[in-house]
Chains A and B, each alone.
Chain A
């Protein structure tokens, strides 16, 4: 589904070159639920934005669903984002000027879907996240957990094959985080591929597979002593 080989990403400013990712290799199979962990600044978000075609990369190869994406133009990338990928951001990123219904509708409209089908999908998605009764509410009138569920509904409504989540529970309390996680697990059971960045070891443990990133590279957990020490601390707590 998602395959990166020897991929690198360099941020150049006038003074420094930062390697956000270097010789980065990952292979996420169709239907997998992968949790991505790693220290702050290690390159998790960078990986996710490249995976989601929000940004280009500097070197290496990236195949998404069998397509080499570095060859695609801006319009083709937009189309893939719209049809194959669902995004869930830490900051929810709902559009404050639009109510819940209109927010969920945004990607469907860019797909050029007919109004009747849009309505069907929006109500289904809101039903799934338990917010059908809030369709006319504006984001500011909802709690953080509710907003994130709307964001998930928005990501789901287009039935994407790949769901990318960057710390989806980072701004939520434990209770709400659990609700969101259960929702993601349910979506995964229905066949979606999910890649989720998280700082929460408990949530990471619930994924099928964990990928750890340090200094812009995927490291094998078994050979990384720091990870064992970290886990030990969590266990003690």
Chain B
């Protein structure tokens, strides 16, 4: 997968050519799965494009056609850095307390046998429903701020999709061709870029089942008499 490039809100707006200031939903309305890992102030400003319906969240480098190419890139949502643990108590300066996994796990010997049920010292209320996987099928035991691939090689959290794809190749291939995971922006890359969600935008790595949703909107056909299936006349 090619490297993501980034986009500022202004540029994102500019691609929505034709849409004016009166664009109906200026609020970036992220898909309902929120990304819980907290990168802290600095890191989050470096996040690459975040796909929201119709609008995007920023970062630094402009998205442009690659040199010598007449096509805009397909930008995949990524999250920089390793997740952090947010501690309950804020410090006296009102800063949010955040610690890296390595803060504890570099001194704590990994317990390869630990299962969700046994996590009672620190990671409380942790829910897990991802097949029969053990924690260290994904987390790299010797490197607390990294994930691992099937061969045991470490892989950065940023590249989490290459890990998912090793076990879910069918979805990964479909994803590459737009048949899984969806997209936003342009179908015609000669006119503008396309944006795609990360696997973890839609699937919580620990409880990956796509959540149920509630139907919010229904046409009132009854009053139009065009597709009335319930009336008895």
Our verdict on whether A and B bind, yes or no, reads no
> B residues engaging A (CB < 8 A)?
none
